[in-house]
Structure 1
Amino acid sequence: MTLDAHLHLWDLEHGTYSWLSDAVAPINRTFRFEEVEPQLRATGVDRVVLVQAAGTSEDSAAMFAVAAQQPMVAGVVAWVDLRDPSAVGDALDSWAAAGPLVGIRHLIHDEADPDWLAQPAVHRSLAVLASRGLAYDVIGVLPRHLEHAVALADELPELRLVVDHLGTPPVGSEAGEWGRLIDELGSRPNVFVKLSGLTTLGPAGRASAGDLRPYVDRALDAFGPSRMLYGGDWPVSTLATPYAETFAVARELIAALTPAERDDILAGSAARAYRLP
């Protein structure tokens, strides 16, 4: 079993994605499951987790519609308005009735306030997620984001946090603050990390396995294979590499591990993080 725990879809005719622009022109178009499915099957991926790409109900509803039609979809990381804890429970009920809700995400890196995740109302909402057994995906682009994730892991130890894209390591530079914070996060047993979204990093916008290895090894030391999960980050990853190459880079980065450890990263860790069957 191989599971891709980070796959996006979007339809520009039926949703708004404000971050799509000419700056990312190759992906500023519609991406449907029918386009990626043969690529997944060709690389041996059996199941996927769909992850929100916009802070809108339309984006989440579209993912649940795909999940209802596609047996490959094991779970959906959706969006709710975490700033309104009084409404979060009903919103979660609605998504849970729509399909396999496994977690929630907010595009905190698109917020002007780097302390968005520290808002008391957001923490109250995340406590509701924890009570429902749902995970929360953290996009840690700035060190400040990761600092808030550390604090959140301590405040809500029952909440499973999934740090996307290895917390955005400074590829091509010293591990520095990123490395310290990854070590901090790894010491919290309720935190997982995704081996995803890495081939687009680096000064040239494209990173090889050799470029990424020091940062992946640092994260493996901090989390171990049992709390690291693979995600292809399609179609964002296509800015650097086709899906097959993205997957090949991930396989190369974990090739030295034991078969059981590789199985954890390629499926078992995602099942634990998102409580998948």
Structure 2
Amino acid sequence: MSRKIDAHQHFWNLEKAAYPWLDPMFGSICRTIEAPELEPLLQAAGIDQTVIVQAMNSYEDTDYMLQVAEERDWVGAVVGWVPLNMPDIADKKLRHYAQNRYFKGVRHLIHEEKDPDYIVRPSVIEGLRVLASYDLTFDLVAVFPNHLKHAPLLAKEVPNLRIVIDHLAKPPIREKAMGEWAEQLARAAQYENVYAKVSGLNTAADADTWTAEDLRPYIDYAVEQFGADRLMFGSDWPVANLAGDYAKVWAETNRALAAYSDEQRDAILGGTAARFYKMP
């Protein structure tokens, strides 16, 4: 039986780290949210392992996630943070973090940066080369239309770096549009070292009415471009709670994938993530 992996979920403890982006407008998720809240949801969905992904550009957030990983046997990987724009410091911190068996990659909240071209600054690309030298991965928060266009350049500049585009770069599901998003995703998919997450799609759709039918065209397009072996499911919980809940995201994603072969579904629902993040 193949492993089921949620390749994208978050925790935050507001006493252990600061999350300035977590504004009261986020309502139900603007509070400390930790592992005991997620555990029964994973069990109900039959999820074997998860990947905890950074929610702040800070060492405090990374250290907190690594602590949770030690405490919960269902955590298979942690995507943390180092200052990629300072390659020397990133190298020093990666030397430390790479010794931790759960630390598998890095992410930076580039959509919080005022400069939409932050990720292609020469210093950051140098930091990504340092990251690749440790055989660690990079989660690209490529929110369309500002960041997805940079994926091909990163893939070319750092060909030995495994890159995954978070949330299919937030396609315009609410508008039922494809257009430029589809063109940019196709360009990114031409590079074998670029993967993508079938995650966070519910919050790009109509929060109250979305179903598998809304997600399916975008998932189908991603499968056409990447193939199942470069796609991985993620819940984006607890952000997912802004448009439904864990159970709905899991059920509707499975409905959207129902027409695919067992092999394709196994890849998207676990196999790809296990390979990408080198999860034991």
Q: If the length of structure 2 is used for normalisation, what is the TM-score?
A: 0.96
Report the counterpart of residue 61 of structure 1 in structure 2: 63
CA drift at 1:275: 1.7
Report the counterpart of residue 54 of structure 2 in structure 1: 52
CA RMSD of aligned residues (A): 1.2
8 A contact 2:167–2:196 mirrored in 1: yes
Report the counterpart of residue 264 of structure 1 in structure 2: 267
Structure 1 runs (4+) greater than 3 angstroms displaced: 203-206
8 A contact 1:197–1:233 mirrored in 2: yes
Any residues of structure 2 matched to 1:77-156 within 5 Å, and which?
77-156=79-158
**Distance (Å, rounded) in 1 between the aligned partners of 2:136 and 2:180:** 29
CA drift at 1:173: 3.2
**Distance (Å, rounded) in 1 between the aligned partners of 2:178 and 2:195:** 19
Q: Aligned match of 2:232 in 229, 233, 247? A: 229
8 A contact 2:116–2:147 mirrored in 1: yes
8 A contact 2:141–2:165 mirrored in 1: yes
Report the counterpart of residue 211 of structure 1 in structure 2: 214
182-191 vs 197-206, which deviates more? 197-206
8 A contact 1:200–1:206 mirrored in 2: no
Q: Taking structure 1 as reference, are residues 36 and 203 closer, same or farther at Cα in structure 2, changes over 3 Å only?
A: closer
Q: Taking structure 1 as reference, are residues 37 and 208 closer, same or farther at Cα in structure 2, changes over 3 Å only?
A: same
CA drift at 1:143: 2.4
8 A contact 1:201–1:207 mirrored in 2: no
8 A contact 2:198–2:233 mirrored in 1: yes
Q: If the length of structure 1 is used for normalisation, what is the TM-score?
A: 0.97
**Distance (Å, rounded) in 2 between the aligned partners of 1:3 and 1:202:** 23
Counterpart check, 1:13 vs 2:4: no
Q: Taking structure 1 as reference, are residues 220 and 111 closer, same or farther at Cα in structure 2, changes over 3 Å only?
A: same
**Secondary structure of 2:203's partner?**
coil
**Distance (Å, rounded) in 2 between the aligned partners of 1:121 and 1:186:** 25
Structure 1: unaligned runs, 5 residues or longer: none
Structure 2: unaligned runs, 5 residues or longer: none
**Distance (Å, rounded) in 1 between the aligned partners of 2:177 and 2:201:** 16
- 1:28-79 CA-to-partner distances (Å, cap 9, x unmatched) read 0111101101110111000011100001111000000011111111110000
- 1:181-200 CA-to-partner distances (Å, cap 9, x unmatched) read 11111111100000101111
Q: Partner amino acid for 2:61?
A: D
Q: Aligned match of 1:31 in 30, 33, 40? A: 33
**Secondary structure of 1:97's partner?**
coil
Any residues of structure 2 matched to 1:132-211 within 5 Å, and which?
132-171=134-173, 172-204=175-207, 207-211=210-214
Report the counterpart of residue 255 of structure 2 in structure 1: 252
CA drift at 1:99: 4.0
8 A contact 2:208–2:244 mirrored in 1: no
8 A contact 2:132–2:161 mirrored in 1: yes
Q: Taking structure 1 as reference, are residues 205 and 93 closer, same or farther at Cα in structure 2, changes over 3 Å only?
A: farther
